[in-house]
Amino acid sequence: MAYQGDSREDSPQRKLGRGKIEIKRIENTTNRQVTFCKRRNGLLKKAYELSVLCDAEVALIVFSSRGRLYEYANNSVKTTIDRYKKASSDTSNTGTVAEVNAQFYQQEAAKLRVQIGNLQNSNRHMLGESLGALSVKELKSLEIRLEKGISRIRSKKEIDLHNNNQLLRSKIAENERKQQSMNLMPGGGSFDIMQQQQYDNRNYFQVNALQPTNHYPHQDQMPLQLV
């Protein structure tokens, strides 16, 4: 089926059979641009489907007639191009695809080992080790990085200390409120004092009960006689 943006010029050779168009340059600028957009989108879709369905590494590069770049890659265009160059560098074509892939992954592993070594050296420099090979400029850069790191560490430490102090203050205030509530309760901290006061009051009443009062006559008073 022909796309709507395809050439509309009347030509006896425009169509070759039902639903097909003659593959040649579209002269009409507008139709050519519309066809480019539709065909480009279809091509990008097919590249995506191929990479997902077949687990293939796909890189697609398209330049329009105006020089605009359109690309798609499920890995990256640069990585796929590098892989293509390495695979096609053997002009004798004596190596198999498996050997080419093995060589590619060996080179990638070597790059990763170099990166790991650089990271290890950077960590040693941060610890003040293996500084003999560094230049004055490199030492200055290392000093600046260390100062920035120390500044961030101190800032983080101050924030943590502040948060811990706030937490301790809230716990102390909560404990004080609980203690005050317990002191105000009948069964709280004043219970022993109240018991002691009640005991002393009982003893006081019992002692007073044994002592004579003015309500009863003394024994030395004269008894009453009937006349």
Q: Is 124 in the same domain as 160? A: no
Report the pLDDT value the prediction gives residue 76, as an integer from 0 to 100. 86
Q: Is 88 in the same domain as 110? A: no
Q: What is the mean pLDDT of residues 201-218?
A: 47
Report the pLDDT value the prediction gives residue 39, as an integer from 0 to 100. 93
Residues 2 and 19 sit within 8 Å (Cβ to Cβ): yes
Q: What is the mean pLDDT of residues 150-171?
A: 93
Domain count, the chain: 3
> Is the residue at 61 inside a domain?
yes
Note the pLDDT tens digit of each residue in 19-64. Answer: 677 788 888 889 989 999 999 999 999 999 999 999 899 999 999 8
Q: Is 129 in the same domain as 159? A: no
Q: Is 36 in the same domain as 90? A: yes
> Is the residue at 69 inside a domain?
yes
Q: What is the mean pLDDT of residues 81-101?
A: 71
Q: Is 56 in the same domain as 87? A: yes
Beta strands in 136-225 (DSSP E): none
> Is the residue at 44 inside a domain?
yes
Dihedral of the CA atoms 93, 98, 104, 107 (nearest 10)? Answer: -110
Report the pLDDT value the prediction gives residue 37, as an integer from 0 to 100. 92
Note the pLDDT tens digit of each residue in 7-22. Answer: 444 444 444 445 677 7
Report the pLDDT value the prediction gives residue 127, as an integer from 0 to 100. 86
> Is the residue at 60 inside a domain?
yes
Among candidate residues 46, 29, 38, the one with its CA nearest the CA of residue 4:
38
Q: Is 89 in the same domain as 70? A: yes
Q: Cα-flanking dihedrals φ and ψ of residue 167, to 5°?
A: -65, -40
Q: Is 45 in the same domain as 88? A: yes
Report the pLDDT value the prediction gives residue 87, as an integer from 0 to 100. 77
CATH of the domain at 64: 3.40.1810.10
Q: What is the mean pLDDT of residues 147-173?
A: 92
> Is the residue at 193 inside a domain?
no
Last residue of a domain, one of 94, 125, 143: 94
Report the pLDDT value the prediction gives residue 75, as an integer from 0 to 100. 85
Q: Which domain holds residue 169?
A: 135-182
Read off the amino acid at residue 96: T
Q: Which residues of 112-146 are buried (b: 16+ CB within 10 A; e: fewer)?
A: eeeeeeeeeeeeebeeeeeeeeeeeeeeeebeeee
HSE value, Cβ hemisphere, 13 Å, CA-based, for 73: 13
Residue 169 pLDDT more than 60?
yes
Mean per-residue pLDDT over the chain, rounded: 76
Q: Is 142 in the same domain as 108? A: no
> Is the residue at 106 inside a domain?
yes
Residue 195 pLDDT more than 60?
no
Q: What is the mean pLDDT of residues 154-168?
A: 93
Q: Is 141 in the same domain as 119? A: no
Q: Is 124 in the same domain as 152? A: no
